[in-house]
Amino acid sequence: MTIHKIADVCRHDYHRQTLESNDTEIVLLSCDNDQAAFDEWFGQQPWAAAPYEVAQGENGKAPIGYVRKAKRDAGKPQGTLGEHFKLASVPQLIVLDGATGTVVTDKPMEQAGTKSDQGYNWTDLAPETWLK
């Protein structure tokens, strides 16, 4: 669905961005419904990911990622980063400065059309090395 469309854009440029500019690392915080769904999808991706149980707060761990509304309604808290960045929906791509942790941009992409399944494009707010 929508995260997969963002992933298509990111995957397309991932190797060029990381190998040529050496200034980018993508780390996924999954909001899949379960470990099996995460394992199936993540196995096809070239980037790093926080373990599913850490992102979603499984096995007694506190969640750090975005926790979907249905899980929050069932009593699970929003993840630390989901709350910190005030995420209201997914997918989200937030670019941080790796040295300082400050937000470079939280709007590096926009929908290509009126529906998320039409894909995403980089905006002029994306890091300059991503737009080359």
* pLDDT (mean) for 22-43: 86
Convert the pLDDT of each residue in 64-101 to its tens digit: 999 999 999 999 999 999 999 998 888 788 888 888 98
68, burial (CB in 10 Å: exposed 0-12, middle 13-18, buried 19+):
middle
Q: Which of 9, 30, 2 minimizes the C-alpha distance to 131?
A: 9
pLDDT of 113: 86
Rounded Cα–Cα distance for residues 70 and 120 (Å): 26
Q: Enter the pTM of the model.
A: 0.73
Q: C-alpha 56: how far from its chain's center?
A: 13
Q: How confident is the model at residue 1 (pLDDT cuts 50, 70, 90)?
A: very low
